[in-house]
A and B are shown apart, each in its own frame.
Chain A
Amino acid sequence: MLEQYLLVSVVLFVLGVFGTISRRNAVGMLIGIELVLNAASLSFVAFGRYILPFGDSPKEAGQVVSVFIIILAACEAVVALTIVYALYRLYRTIDVDKVHMLRQ
Chain B
Amino acid sequence: MAHLAWLIVLLPLFSSACLAGFGKGLYRRFGKKGVDVLGVGSIGTSFLLATCLLAYVLSLDPDKRSIPSALWSWFPLEGKMLDISLLIDPLSAAMALMVAGVGFLIHVYSTGYMDKDPGYPRYFSYTNLFMFAMLTLVFADNLVLFFLGWEGVGLCSYLLIGFWFNDIEKARAGMKAFIVNRIGDLGFLLGLYLLFWLYASSTTMPFAMPELRADLSPLLGIGFFGQNWATWVTLCFFIGATGKSAQIPLYVWLPDAMAGPTPVSALIHAATMVTAGVYMIARLSFVFVHAPFTLGVVATIGATTALFAATIGLCQKDIKKVLAYSTVSQLGYMFLAMGVGAFVSGFFHLLTHAFFKACLFLGAGSVIHGMHGEQNMDLMGGLRKKMPVTCATFVLAALAISGFPFFSGFFSKDEILFASLSSPLGGPVLWAVGLFTALLTAFYMFRLVFLTFFGESRTPDAIKGHIHESPASMTVPLVVLSMLSVFGGVLNLPELFFLPGGLARFLRPVVAEFPGFSHALHESSYLEIPLMGVSSGVALLGIALAYVCYLRAPGLPYLFGYFLRPVYNLLWNKYYVDEIYEAAFIKPLLQTSRFSAKADLVVIDGAVNGSALLTRETSRIAGLYDLWLVDGLVNATAEGTLRLGRWLRSFQTGAIQNYLSYVVGGALLVFWLLWALVNRTV
Contact = CB atoms under 8 A, between A and B. Distances in A.
Contacts of B657: 20-22, 24, 29, 96-97
Interface string B625-657: 000000000000000000000000000111111
A89 interface: no
A17 B652 contact: no
A21 B661 contact: yes
B671 to A, nearest CB: 13
A68 B657 CA distance: 27
A101 B653 CA distance: 10
A1 interface: no
A100 B664 contact: no
17 contacts: A17-B664, A20-B657, A20-B660, A21-B657, A21-B661, A22-B657, A24-B657, A29-B656, A29-B657, A96-B656, A96-B657, A97-B655, A100-B653, A100-B654, A100-B655, A103-B652, A103-B654
B664 A21 contact: yes
Interface residues of B, number: 9
Contacts of A97: 655, 657
Contacts of B652: 103
Nearest to A24: B657
Interface of A: 17, 20-22, 24, 29, 96-97, 100-104
A101 B660 contact: no
What 5 pairs between A and B have smallest CB-CB spacing? A103-B654, A100-B654, A102-B654, A21-B657, A21-B660
Given A22-B657, A29-B657, A100-B655, 4 more contacts: A17-B664, A20-B657, A29-B656, A104-B654
A94 B84 CA distance: 109
A29 B656 CA distance: 10
Interface of B: 652-657, 660-661, 664
A17 B663 CA distance: 11
A21 B660 CA distance: 7
A29 B655 CA distance: 13
A29 B657 CA distance: 9
Contacts of B654: 100-104
Nearest to A22: B657
Nearest to A97: B655
Nearest to A26: B656
A9 B472 CA distance: 141
Contacts of A24: 657
A17 B667 CA distance: 12
Contacts of A29: 656-657
A35 B498 CA distance: 158
A66 to B, nearest CB: 23
A10 to B, nearest CB: 13
A30 to B, nearest CB: 12
A96 B655 CA distance: 7
B395 to A, nearest CB: 117
A46 to B, nearest CB: 20
A104 B654 CA distance: 8
Contacts of B655: 96-97, 100
Contacts of A20: 657, 660
B668 to A, nearest CB: 10
A39 B625 CA distance: 65
B114 to A, nearest CB: 92
A47 B589 CA distance: 120
A17 B668 CA distance: 12
A22 B664 CA distance: 13
Contact of A103 (B653, B661, B664): B653
Nearest to B656: A96
Contacts of A100: 653-655
Nearest to A104: B654
A24 B658 CA distance: 11
A102 B661 CA distance: 17
Contacts of B660: 20-21
Contacts of B664: 17, 21
A17 B665 CA distance: 11
